[in-house]
């Protein structure tokens, strides 16, 4: 009984952000040491005077910007007006010829994955770049591991393995298959119903995060390692680039693509949009889970 | 413009005015708060306000969502789908930038043991001098 | 009739933004920010853009909130007292 309450007290301490005793003391000492670097009293007064001027200038600039924008907004055409200048012949072409040319029932998906697929490629690259930058900042390797942080990580892992939350695990084991199935459904039906690659990928990524948070990251690492992550993201982006390069090549030279458009409303329709949806969905799911595990543990 | 026409126009342009007000709130807090986490939340509020402004330019009264249906053909029955496509890209880029900012905040905390912007600037200058 | 609902949602949006940035505790800031994302997702659904509604609900209220909480734990700001 006392062992259980002891483990429970350590677990609640970990949730509240308290750490092992000596590490917290050392952190406080480091913080006090750093506070000694703050300047003396008259220099603090000089900084406070400067901050008063900075606040005034910032307030004036912000109010000017908001006033100019409000004045401009009142000259806009009314909301929901069909004679809006934003509704021009581009919208006519996308909505009326979209179904025949792309075969997608969802016009937004047909637009971002067929007419304007290059922008979506740029956006997938931004996601990939973001996870690479976060890896550069937070990945722990032999050169930047500090001794008490390592001890603290081991401590947290031991606590995580010992005190597991039964309600969370039971509910996760019931709900997780539904979440992954819903995410896969939204990705695969991106051209028929609302959704698409990004929405489905975010839902799948959130499902993986739930699995990692309730069962522990070591359980997820059984099937999702760094090698898997690298292979999936690189392959998905290259596959996207190859498909769109093929489309550009045949379109620019006036050739036929050779990929059938199928009947609108079926899953295997609309040419390459299904492949592109799957690629984007995989990149987004891996990126979201990669963010979570880099923030929590420091290694994928 | 008399008061009644002014109020009617203001109510009709409610989303755009809300977007500008949110942009102002986010901008002011981005410049005036000391805490780095609040600066990041203010930045996200500014991002969302710009998306609200863009997507509200695509709505047309009385029309339905841009999913093609049986029998309803023609561009005068559907909402403008182009701004929705632009905002979809923007939402995903916004979460990427937020994640990068938060990773930077973690590294700054590990180095300076504080999340207060003024203290970090002072300590950084002291360390360089 | 729907204009009143939209005006109420816009008012809730502005109040959430002011409350999130004016609170003293960082935990309260992040939670109100997740509520702000949720109201934004409902507004997308009202503007007849279901793609944006699903994406904002999954990404804004879900993943961004989780990343904020992980960062708050790493900077030791979750103790329930004033933020640092």
What pLDDT does A184 receive?
94
C60 interfaces chain A, CB cutoff of 8 Å: no
What pLDDT does C50 receive?
92
> With a CB-CB cutoff of 8 Å, which residues 206-225 of chain A face chain B?
none
What pLDDT does A239 receive?
93
**Taking a C-beta distance cutoff of 8 angstroms, is the pair A176, A207 a contact?**
yes
- Contact across the interface for B106 and A79, Cβ inside 8 Å: no
A30 interfaces chain B, CB cutoff of 8 Å: yes
What pLDDT does A16 receive?
63
What pLDDT does A242 receive?
93
- Contact across the interface for B37 and C52, Cβ inside 8 Å: no
What pLDDT does C15 receive?
96
Which structural domains are found in chain B, ordered by start? 3-128 (1.10.287.3510)
Task: Show the low-confidence residues of chain A (pLDDT under 70).
Answer: 1, 13-27, 33-50
- Contact across the interface for C21 and B105, Cβ inside 8 Å: no
| Alpha carbon distances (Å) from A134 to A75, A185, A232, A262 | 43, 29, 18, 41
What pLDDT does C80 receive?
46
Q: Which of C58, C78, C79 sits opposite A206 (nearest CB)?
A: C58
Q: How far is B83 from chain C (nearest CA, A)?
A: 10
For the stretch C57-73, pLDDT in tens is 999 888 999 999 999 98
**Mind giving me the DSSP string for B7-72?**
HHHHHHTHHHHHHHHHHHHHHHHHHH--BHHHHHHHHHHHHHHHHHHHHHTS-BTT-B-SB-BTTB
Q: Which of C14, C20, C67 sits opposite B98 (nearest CB)?
A: C67
C-chain residue closest to B98, CA distance: C64
| Contact list, A94 vs chain B (CB under 8 Å) | 81-82
Distance CA(A272)–CA(A27), nearest Å, equals 55
C62 interfaces chain A, CB cutoff of 8 Å: yes
For the stretch C3-59, pLDDT in tens is 999 999 999 999 999 999 999 889 999 999 999 999 999 999 999 999 999 999 999
Count of CB atoms within 10 A of residue A123's CB?
A: 22
A-chain residue closest to B59, CA distance: A80
Which of A120, A203, A289 is the best mutation test for C, with the most CBs of C within 10 A? Answer: A203
pLDDT band at B114 (very low <50, low <70, confident <90, very high): confident
Distance CA(B108)–CA(A287), nearest Å, equals 23
A289 interfaces chain C, CB cutoff of 8 Å: no
**Taking a C-beta distance cutoff of 8 angstroms, is the pair A214, A169 a contact?**
yes
What are the residue ranges spanned by the domains of chain A?
Answer: 106-253+260-300
For the stretch B42-88, pLDDT in tens is 999 999 999 999 999 888 888 888 888 877 777 788 888 899 999 99
> With a CB-CB cutoff of 8 Å, which residues 66-85 of chain B face chain A?
66-68, 73-76, 78, 80-85
What pLDDT does B50 receive?
96
Q: How far is B55 from chain C (nearest CA, A)?
A: 8
| Contact list, C70 vs chain B (CB under 8 Å) | 102
What pLDDT does B125 receive?
79
ipTM above 0.95, yes or no: no
What are the residue ranges spanned by the domains of chain C?
Answer: 2-74
Angle formed at CA A248 by CA A247 and CA A249, multiple of 5 degrees: 90
Q: What's the whole-number mean pLDDT along residues B103-128?
A: 85
**Taking a C-beta distance cutoff of 8 angstroms, is the pair C33, B29 a contact?**
no
**Taking a C-beta distance cutoff of 8 angstroms, is the pair A160, A220 a contact?**
no
pLDDT band at C82 (very low <50, low <70, confident <90, very high): very low
Of A38, A300, A45, A298, the C-alpha closest to A156 is A298
- Contact across the interface for C54 and A206, Cβ inside 8 Å: no
For the stretch B6-49, pLDDT in tens is 898 889 899 999 999 999 999 999 998 989 999 999 999 999 99
- Any residues with CB less than 8 A from the CB of A246 and at least 6 apart, and which? A257
Q: Which of B12, B75, B106 sits opposite A91 (nearest CB)?
A: B75
C74 interfaces chain A, CB cutoff of 8 Å: yes
> With a CB-CB cutoff of 8 Å, which residues 6-45 of chain B face chain A?
9-10, 12-17, 20-21, 23-24, 27-28, 31-32
What pLDDT does B64 receive?
82
What pLDDT does A206 receive?
93
- Contact across the interface for A288 and C63, Cβ inside 8 Å: yes
| Contact list, A207 vs chain C (CB under 8 Å) | none
**Taking a C-beta distance cutoff of 8 angstroms, is the pair C74, B106 a contact?**
yes
What pLDDT does C74 receive?
87
Task: Convert chain A into a string of H (helix), E (strand) and C (coil).
Answer: CHHHHHHHHHHHHHHCCCCCHHHHHHHHHHHHHHHCCCCCHHHHHHHHHHHHHHHHHHHHHHHHHHHHHHHHHCCCCCCECCCCCCCCHHHHHHHHCHHHHHCCCEHHHHHHHHHCHHHHHHHHHHHHHHHHHHHHHHCCCCCCCCHHHHHHHHHHHHHHHHCCCHHHHHHHHHHHHHHHHHHHHHHHCCCCCCCCHHHHHHHHHHHHHHHHHHHCHHHHCCCCCHHHHHHHHHHHHHHHHHHHHHHHHHHHCCCCCCCCCCCECECCCCCCHHHHHHHHHHHHHHHHHHHHHHHHCCCC
Half-sphere exposure for A46 (CA within 13 Å, toward CB): 6
Distance CA(C24)–CA(A55), nearest Å, equals 20
Phi and psi at B77, nearest 5°, equal -110, -10
What pLDDT does C84 receive?
37
What pLDDT does B70 receive?
79
Region of B42 please: left (phi>0), alpha (psi -120 to 50) or beta. Answer: alpha
| Contact list, A18 vs chain C (CB under 8 Å) | 79
Q: Which of B13, B83, B89 sits opposite A76 (nearest CB)?
A: B13
């Amino acid at each position: 009984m006392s062992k259980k309450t002891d483990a429970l007290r350590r677990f609640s301490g970990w949730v509240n952000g308290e750490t092992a005793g000596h590490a917290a003391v050392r952190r406080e000492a480091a913080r006090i040491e750093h506070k000694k670097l703050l300047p003396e009293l008259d220099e603090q007064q000089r900084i406070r005077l400067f901050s008063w001027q900075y606040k005034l200038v910032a307030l004036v600039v912000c109010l000017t910007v908001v006033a100019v924008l409000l004045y401009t907004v009142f000259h806009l055409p009314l909301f929901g007006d069909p004679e809006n200048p934003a509704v021009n012949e581009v919208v006519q072409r996308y909505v009326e010829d979209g179904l025949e040319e792309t075969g997608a029932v969802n016009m937004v998906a047909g637009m971002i994955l067929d007419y304007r697929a290059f922008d979506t490629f740029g956006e997938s690259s931004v996601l990939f770049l973001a996870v690479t930058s976060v890896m550069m900042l937070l990945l722990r390797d032999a050169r930047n591991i500090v001794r008490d942080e390592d001890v603290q990580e081991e401590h947290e892992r031991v606590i995580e393995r010992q005190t597991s939350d039964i309600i969370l695990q039971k509910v996760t084991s019931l709900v997780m298959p539904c979440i992954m199935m819903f995410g896969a459904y939204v990705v695969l039906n991106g051209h028929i119903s609302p959704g698409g690659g990004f929405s489905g990928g975010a839902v799948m990524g959130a499902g993986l995060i739930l699995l990692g948070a309730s069962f522990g990251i070591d359980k997820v690492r059984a099937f999702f390692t760094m090698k898997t992550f690298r292979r999936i993201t690189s392959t998905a982006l290259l596959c996207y680039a190859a498909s769109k390069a093929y489309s550009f090549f045949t379109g620019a030279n006036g050739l036929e693509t050779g990929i059938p458009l199928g009947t609108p409303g079926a899953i295997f329709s609309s040419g390459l949009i299904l492949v592109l949806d799957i690629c984007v969905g995989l990149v987004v799911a891996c990126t979201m889970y990669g963010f979570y595990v880099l923030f929590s543990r420091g290694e994928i | 413009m008399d008061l009644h026409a002014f109020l009617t126009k203001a109510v009709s342009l409610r989303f755009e005015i809300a977007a500008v007000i949110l942009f102002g709130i986010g901008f002011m807090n981005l410049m005036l708060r000391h805490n780095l986490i609040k600066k990041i939340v203010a930045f996200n509020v500014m991002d969302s306000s710009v998306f609200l402004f863009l997507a509200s330019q695509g709505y047309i009264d009385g029309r339905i969502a841009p999913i093609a249906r049986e029998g309803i053909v023609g561009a005068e029955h559907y909402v403008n789908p182009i701004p929705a496509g632009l905002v979809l890209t923007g939402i995903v880029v916004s979460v990427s930038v937020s994640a990068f900012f938060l990773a930077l905040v973690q590294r700054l905390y590990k180095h300076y043991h504080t999340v207060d912007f003024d203290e970090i600037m002072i300590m950084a200058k002291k360390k360089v001098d | 009739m729907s204009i009143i609902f939209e005006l109420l949602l816009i008012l809730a949006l502005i109040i959430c933004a002011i409350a999130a940035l004016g609170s003293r505790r960082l935990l309260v800031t992040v939670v109100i920010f997740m509520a702000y994302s949720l109201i934004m997702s409902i507004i997308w659904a009202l503007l007849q853009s279901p793609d944006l509604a699903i994406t904002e609900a999954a990404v804004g209220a879900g993943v961004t909130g989780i990343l904020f909480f992980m960062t708050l734990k790493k900077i030791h700001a979750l103790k329930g007292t004033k933020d640092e």
